[in-house]
A and B are shown apart, each in its own frame.
Chain A
Amino acid sequence: MKTGLLIGGISMNFEYNHYYTKLYEMPLMTIVVAAIMFLSCTAILTVYLSKSRRMTVYKFGLFLASIFSIILLISGATSIKLDIKSDNPSESIQLLGEITEINPISNPPRFYYQGEIVIPKIIVINETEYYCMTVGSIQIGDYVEIQYLENSKVVMSIHETE
């Protein structure tokens, strides 16, 4: 679904499916893979340690893999947006206001917009945070009109107004 109207300045429209894949499906897959790896590594490590307490390179590798799996698990858990599942893409809310902050997102998903890899950002309008696939050249202080989804607060379209 594409939404948004061009009034003036920069205008960007985003796909709901891209958000859904990157903010729900991919993190869910990440969590599942990380959980399987963590359980496998710790189970095998426990079996080996029960036989002998002596640390070997292989056991150390399993220990490292367990730690990395936890990091991956946390990464997946923090990037999943469960709210997007309850959003209806055809019912977006319109808002006009000034961008007061643009904040980075830790470990952002790899979104593609018009064939380019873009970095999502959190924009703050009227003290509320919105998740935006990319802000392009929009800056703090710009007046924008956005259309966002009610629960997840993901921005479906953004354009600069004069």
Chain B
Amino acid sequence: MVLHVTMTPVMYSDISGYAPQWLIDYWNWVVDGYKSIGRSISQEFVVDISVSIPIFLGLNVKIGLSIVVNLNDDYVEFYPHIGPSIGYSSGPAVSLGALENYNNPGDYREWFEYGEAGYFVGGGHCYGVSDDLEYSDAVKAYYIEFSSPNISFGRDYYYWNENWIIDWGN
């Protein structure tokens, strides 16, 4: 049997009628989140290669290179970065992330705060630190990471230069 509601096929059903509203809301939130990440990755994403070096009792220095790929506007840009972190983090890491509130070249520059954790495979989140803006409006990245055992929180400075853009659109 195929049901249609105003020409749209019904995809899910709750025949018993006992599914609680919070569960339905949660499910919709998860589906919307995945759709949003999927849309973002298909247009622009960030690839990062970094190394963490423990300095002293839970203090580390992380250095790396982030590559922002924008398939919408056909360009790639490069951001070398460095910053201190606290926690346990040692060795190399490679990550792939989706971007939010990123609109133009250079938006991924300056100080970012991040938290990440994983045991060979993990994840993290970073956002642009700014006194001028609310967190919701800041440039953000959500990423999966392949690294040595890692749980850390820190701030990285992302260097950007207008000349470090490879643009194949024009």
| Chains A and B come from one and the same complex | yes
Q: What is A's interface to B at a CB cutoff of 8 Å?
A: 18, 21, 26, 30, 33, 36-37, 40-41, 44, 58, 61-62, 64-65, 68-69, 71-72, 75, 104, 106-110, 112, 115-117, 119
Q: Would A110 and B162 count as touching, CB distance under 8 A?
A: no
**Number of A-B pairs, beta carbon distance below 8 Å:** 78
Interface residues on B, range: 20 to 34
Q: A44-B55, A68-B82 are in contact. Are A110 and B130 (CB under 8 A)?
A: yes
Q: What is B's interface to A at a CB cutoff of 8 Å?
A: 51, 53, 55-56, 59, 61, 63, 80, 82-84, 103-104, 106-107, 109-111, 128, 130-133, 137, 139, 155, 157, 159-162
Q: A33-B84, A64-B63 are in contact. Are A106 and B103 (CB under 8 A)?
A: no
- Distance of A16 from chain B, by nearest CB (Å): 13
Which residue of the partner chain B has the closest CB to A30?
B157
Q: A65-B53, A65-B82, A110-B109 are in contact. Are A21 and B131 (CB under 8 A)?
A: yes
Listed by A's residue number, 17 A-B pairs whose Cβ atoms lie within 8 Å are A21-B132, A33-B83, A33-B155, A37-B84, A40-B55, A41-B53, A58-B53, A65-B53, A65-B61, A69-B82, A71-B159, A104-B162, A107-B161, A108-B109, A109-B110, A117-B107, A119-B106
Q: A37-B84, A61-B51, A68-B82 are in contact. Are A44 and B106 (CB under 8 A)?
A: no
